[in-house]
C-alpha cells in the first residue's frame, strides 16, 4: 500500500495533477499546492493564513498540503515543473539553488518588499541571492561548529577559547592524548571502553580545516578538489589518525552512532552541525526516541580560526521556494504564504514549541534561541560561528554534483594508507596516496562536468 501511494503521488507530480502552475480556479478563488517533505500538522496554520488573506485581499485562497513522496521526489518535481505543472510551493536545500535558479524556481523578491529579506541573518539568506534577487525565505540554518565534553576537557586541563586558533586546537588534542592514554570509561552496559579524542562523521564537517588553516577554496566557488590546500589538510587528518586522535563514527564504541558522541562519556571533540542539539535535546526529553542513558555536560564552540583569523564553516539551509511557472494573483498569494510560514507561523511550525532546536532563520528568533535550549551553552558555538565566521555555501556550483563524496573517498584512501602501517607514519607515502586519489577523483569529476555542459576549473586534473 505504501509503494502504491508513493507511485500515485509520483504520477500526480509527473502528469500535473497538482494543477497547472499559474492558473487560477476562476473568480476570486485560488488553490495553492504546498508540497512538504516532513511530518507536521499544518491544519491550524493554513486555516489562519486563509482567513488572514481573505480579510486582507478579499480573495478566497485554499492551501492544499501534500507530503513529498519517495526519495526521488525532487527529480520528479523538476520534470513536472518543466512540463508547466508541479506544486506551487515547496521546501528545498540550498545546495540545489544554482542548478534550479530560474529553471525550476523564481525570485520571491518580485512579490515581497525588500524589508522582508532584511529580517533574516545575512549569512544565511544571502545564500539564496543571485543578481540582486532572493529566491527563498529560509526556515532554519544548520551551521557546523565544534561540540565538546565539558567535564572531560576540564579533567584534562584543556582551556576552551572562544577565539581559539588551529594551533590551540592541535595543542588540546596532544594534551588530551597524553592524559587519556591507557584510560577507559565504564559505560551504562557495564563494559569498559577507551576514550576517543576527535570523532569523525564525514569530510564535510572538516571544511573548516580545508578552507581555514590551509587556505583552500570552498567548492561553492570552484569545482576543483585537486587543491594543494586540500591535500595538506587531509595529510594533517591522516597524521591525527596515525596518532590515534581521530576516529570514524562507526569505529567508536559503544554504538557507533550519534549517541556514542554524546552520552557514552568517552568522546572529547566532534565537529558537527547544530542538528546534533536537536537530536540530543529530543532524546533528553524522550520525544520520539528513548531517553539518553547518560546525560553528558557538553557545549559548543566555534571552529578554530584559519590563516585569516576567522573561523570557517559551512551552513546548511533549507528555504521555501516558488514554482517558476506561477504568475499574477496566484504567485502573489503563494509568496505571501511563504512569508507567513517562515515568519508569523514559524515558531509554531518549526521552532522551540515543537522542540526543533535548529538555528532560526529570522534575526529576532535567533536572539531568543539560547533561551529555548535546555542549556544555552549547547548552541553558543553555532551562533558565534554564524555571527563571526566565514560561511561557505554547500551549493557546490557543479550542476547538482556532490563533490564531497569524491573528497570523502580521498580521506578514506588516506586513512587506509595509515591503517595499513600502524605505528609507522610515512608522511611522504601518505601524501602521494592523497595526491593520486585527489587527481583520480578530479578526473572523474571532470567527465561528469563535461557531461553536464560545465567547464572544469582544473581540466588537467593535476594537484595545484
102: left (phi over 0), alpha (psi -120 to 50) or beta: left
Angle at the Cα of 269 from the Cα atoms of 265 and 274, rounded to 5 degrees: 100
Answer for the pair 212, 303: CB distance below 8 angstroms, yes or no: yes
Cell numbers linked to 417: 594508507
Answer for the pair 143, 315: CB distance below 8 angstroms, yes or no: yes
- Count, residues in the chain: 464
Peptide bond into 254 cis (omega under 30): yes
CA distances from 252 to 40, 78, 200, 247, 259 (A): 34, 40, 9, 7, 10
Angle (deg, nearest 10), helices 377-388 and 275-285: 160
Angle at the Cα of 257 from the Cα atoms of 253 and 262, rounded to 5 degrees: 80
How far apart (Å, rounded) are the C-alpha atoms in residues 403 and 109?
30
The DSSP bridge partners found for residue 271 are 146
What is the distance between the terminal CA atoms of the chain, rounded to a whole angstrom?
53
Cell numbers linked to 365: 528568533
How far apart (Å, rounded) are the C-alpha atoms in residues 383 and 369?
9
Residues of the chain with pLDDT under 70: 1-27, 37-39, 70-71, 255-264, 288-289, 291-294, 353-357, 396-400
CA distances from 316 to 8, 92, 204, 394, 416 (A): 31, 11, 11, 7, 29
At a CB cut-off of 8 Å and minimum separation 6, what does 416 contact? none
Multiple choice CATH, 2-112+130-137+318-358, 3.40.190.10, 3.40.50.300, 1.10.10.1100, 3.30.390.50: 3.40.190.10
What pLDDT is recorded for position 27? Answer: 52
Cell numbers linked to 231: 591535500
Closest-CA residue to 413 (of 231, 261, 243, 245):
231
The 10s digit of each residue's pLDDT in 124-178 is 888 899 999 999 998 888 889 999 999 999 999 999 988 899 999 999 999 999 9
How far apart (Å, rounded) are the C-alpha atoms in residues 208 and 256?
24
How far apart (Å, rounded) are the C-alpha atoms in residues 14 and 327?
21
The 10s digit of each residue's pLDDT in 99-138 is 899 999 999 999 999 999 999 888 888 889 999 999 999 8
How far apart (Å, rounded) are the C-alpha atoms in residues 235 and 463?
14
- The model's pTM: 0.84
Only one residue has cell 567535564, namely 151
CA distances from 37 to 69, 72, 136, 218 (A): 8, 11, 16, 28
DSSP 218: P
What pLDDT is recorded for position 153? Answer: 96
Around 457, how many Cα atoms within 13 Å sit in the side-chain half-sphere?
16
CA distances from 339 to 119, 331, 335 (A): 11, 12, 6
Amino acid at each position: 500500500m505504501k509503494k502504491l501511494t508513493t507511485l500515485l503521488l509520483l504520477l500526480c507530480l509527473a502528469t500535473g495533477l497538482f494543477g497547472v502552475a499559474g492558473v487560477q480556479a476562476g473568480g476570486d478563488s485560488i488553490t495553492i499546492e504546498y508540497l512538504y517533505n516532513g511530518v507536521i500538522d499544518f491544519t491550524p496554520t493554513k486555516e489562519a493564513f486563509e482567513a488572514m488573506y481573505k480579510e486582507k485581499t478579499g480573495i478566497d485562497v485554499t492551501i492544499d498540503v501534500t507530503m513529498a513522496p519517495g526519495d526521488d521526489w525532487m527529480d520528479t518535481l523538476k520534470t513536472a515543473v518543466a512540463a508547466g505543472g508541479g506544486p506551487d510551493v515547496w521546501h528545498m536545500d540550498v545546495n540545489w539553488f544554482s542548478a534550479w535558479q530560474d529553471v525550476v524556481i523564481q525570485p520571491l523578491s518580485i512579490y515581497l518588499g525588500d524589508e522582508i529579506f532584511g529580517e533574516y541573518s545575512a549569512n544565511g539568506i544571502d545564500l539564496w541571492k543571485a543578481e540582486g534577487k532572493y529566491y527563498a525565505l529560509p526556515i532554519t540554518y544548520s551551521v557546523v561548529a565544534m561540540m565538546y565534553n565539558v567535564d572531560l576537557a576540564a579533567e584534562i586541563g584543556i582551556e576552551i577559547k572562544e577565539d581559539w586558533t588551529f594551533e590551540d586546537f592541535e595543542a588540546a588534542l596532544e594534551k588530551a592524548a597524553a592524559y587519556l592514554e591507557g584510560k577507559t570509561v565504564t559505560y551504562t552496559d557495564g563494559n569498559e571502553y577507551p576514550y576517543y579524542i576527535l570523532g569523525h562523521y564525514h569530510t564535510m564537517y572538516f571544511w573548516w580545516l580545508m578552507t581555514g588553516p590551509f587556505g583552500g577554496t570552498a567548492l561553492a566557488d570552484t569545482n576543483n578538489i585537486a587543491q594543494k590546500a586540500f591535500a595538506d589538510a587531509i595529510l594533517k587528518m591522516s597524521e591525527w589518525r596515525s596518532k590515534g586522535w581521530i576516529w570514524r563514527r562507526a569505529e567508536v564504541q559503544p554504538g557507533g552512532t550519534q549517541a556514542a558522541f554524546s552520552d557514552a562519556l568517552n568522546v572529547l571533540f566532534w565537529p558537527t552541525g547544530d542538528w546534533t542539539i536537536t537530536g540530543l535535546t529530543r532524546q533528553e526529553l524522550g520525544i520520539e526516541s528513548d531517553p539518553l542513558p547518560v546525560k553528558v555536560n557538553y557545549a559548543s564552540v566555534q571552529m578554530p580560526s584559519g590563516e585569516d583569523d576567522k573561523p570557517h564553516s559551512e551552513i546548511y539551509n533549507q528555504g521555501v521556494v516558488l514554482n517558476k511557472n506561477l504568475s499574477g494573483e496566484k504567485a502573489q498569494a503563494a509568496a505571501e504564504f511563504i512569508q507567513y510560514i517562515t515568519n508569523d507561523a514559524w515558531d509554531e511550525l518549526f521552532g522551540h514549541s515543537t522542540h526543533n532546536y535548529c538555528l532560526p532563520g529570522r534575526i529576532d528568533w535567533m536572539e531568543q534561541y539560547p533561551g529555548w535550549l535546555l542549556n544555552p551553552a549547547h548552541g553558543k558555538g553555532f551562533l558565534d560561528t554564524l555571527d563571526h565566521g566565514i560561511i561557505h555555501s554547500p551549493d557546490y556550483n557543479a550542476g547538482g554534483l556532490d563533490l564531497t563524496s569524491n573528497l570523502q573517498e580521498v580521506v578514506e584512501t588516506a586513512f587506509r594508507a595509515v591503517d595499513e602501517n600502524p605505528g609507522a607514519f610515512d608522511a611522504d607515502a601518505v601524501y602521494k596516496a592523497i595526491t593520486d586519489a585527489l587527481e583520480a577523483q578530479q578526473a572523474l569529476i571532470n567527465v561528469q562536468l563535461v557531461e553536464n555542459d560545465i567547464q572544469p576549473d582544473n581540466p588537467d586534473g593535476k594537484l595545484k
